[in-house]
Structure 1
């Protein structure tokens, strides 16, 4: 769901940064999913893993809407839907078709909110009941550092003021972490506001494993909700992850 208008770079589902290496061979899908589960609110179901379940010889109904895509894209899409159904079963929701919306985001069953994210070999899904949660966003990415060019596109100058200190404490690239957090925030925020945001429209403040995301008011976003949203982030075997949710209560 990456949207581009002139020189602006938009946050959105399915962004793949150029030049990234493949995920490390020693990464553990089970440890990643367990780590994300520790960070989300009660009632949110997390499922995921590698793409092996997508290699089964069947065609999911949702794939008919994909069109002519490369096999790798079809495989990651199929894995996402398989894990999404698994997560929905955790909420007591029977087997469901999860179509592709006009904005390319998943269309969840009535009463459900959720989010899907992929790396080149891993997938994570978060779902919850809309009675409990107004929105959910999740993102996972390899922790390889961003180039200087991409760092400028993703980060606000104020977010990098203590870069050396933060990177020394966390042990991974700050701009890449900001990218992951902003992606997760956008996936939570967009369904609630239906408003596209650039990376520079959002300011992130970090505190240990917590992140605060704020939409910056501007002439273009004068009507946007500029409240403060709290999320979480972490790293599991070389995979960065972040999650946001908004309680319905």
Structure 2
């Protein structure tokens, strides 16, 4: 089977991938992080005074994407400044997540009545450096990788990395806890585009063994992982 190449900009493809992973009322928008930086609110710009140009463009693209996504829900989002821990400070009534890779900046937002938290991550679908696999992957994850086709191992390791980033972003607004890659263990179901993130230690209200469920897409050089926690704490898509 021959698949036609998609020559559209990466952020356009990334948005479509993320939209396929979330259901209403989660809204998604995207920006090109290499484009001209959109204008920022004063309180947003204040946190970027010392940023290098690339970081400034990524930050501005993420905030613009988040405001566009909120607008798709009929919500006029104002400033989304950066907290002391560098996490976005979402306007009251909104939850969300922002992610970027070299070619794509994505944002997903939802009303707080519909979601307790959102996790979103986008990565270039390039092979993870071999020396990072032992840092990022647990022994069980490495055993699973060892059973996969050799040509796919490092790409799947990158997918595990993205799934951990997604789950981390989803839990952080609820727990405020920072932890390493050894705090979560990922189980991938590649043929269904699904994954499970299992807590290996107590993280806030998440006990060891607690599982979060997410979805992913790998297409045309991008990886997008996504999850949503319902207001009752249950993970839904």
- Which of the numbers 122, 125, 142 marks the counterpart of 1:143? 125
SS of alignment partner, residue 83 of structure 1: helix
Give the aligned partner of residue 235 of structure 2.
none
Q: What is the CA–CA distance in structure 1 between the aligned matches of 2:121 and 2:55, rounded to whole Å?
A: 17
Deviation at 1:189, TM superposition (A): 0.4
Deviation at 1:106, TM superposition (A): 0.7
User: Does the Cα contact within 8 Å between 1:167 and 1:173 map onto a contact in 2?
Assistant: no
Q: What is the CA–CA distance in structure 1 between the aligned matches of 2:72 and 2:35, rounded to whole Å?
A: 18
Give the aligned partner of residue 114 of structure 1.
96
Deviation at 1:224, TM superposition (A): 4.2
Spell out the pairing of 1:1-249 with structure 2 (5 A cutoff). 28-51=10-33, 54-55=36-37, 58-61=39-42, 62-166=44-148, 173-208=155-190, 209-217=193-201, 224-226=206-208, 227-249=210-232
**Residue correspondences, number:** 222
Given the two structures, how large is their TM-score scaled by the length of structure 2? Answer: 0.85
Deviation at 1:54, TM superposition (A): 3.5
Cα distance 1:93–1:222, how it changes in 2: closer, same or farther (>3 A)?
Answer: closer
Spell out structure 1 runs of 4+ moving beyond 6 A: 168-172
Q: What is the CA–CA distance in structure 2 between the aligned matches of 1:145 and 1:169, rounded to whole Å?
A: 9
Higher relative contact order (CA 8 A, sep 6+): 1
Q: Mark the runs of 5 or more structure 1 residues left unpaired by the alignment.
A: 1-24
Cα distance 1:240–1:198, how it changes in 2: closer, same or farther (>3 A)?
Answer: same
User: Does the Cα contact within 8 Å between 1:117 and 1:140 map onto a contact in 2?
Assistant: yes
Cα distance 1:40–1:135, how it changes in 2: closer, same or farther (>3 A)?
Answer: same
The Cα offsets for residues 198-239 of structure 1, whole Å up to 9 and x where unpaired, read as 101101111131100011126xx5964331110011113101
Given the two structures, how large is their TM-score scaled by the length of structure 1? Answer: 0.81
Q: What is the CA–CA distance in structure 2 between the aligned matches of 1:222 and 1:118, rounded to whole Å?
A: 27
User: Does the Cα contact within 8 Å between 2:130 and 2:154 map onto a contact in 1?
Assistant: no
Q: What is the CA–CA distance in structure 1 between the aligned matches of 2:195 and 2:173, rounded to whole Å?
A: 20
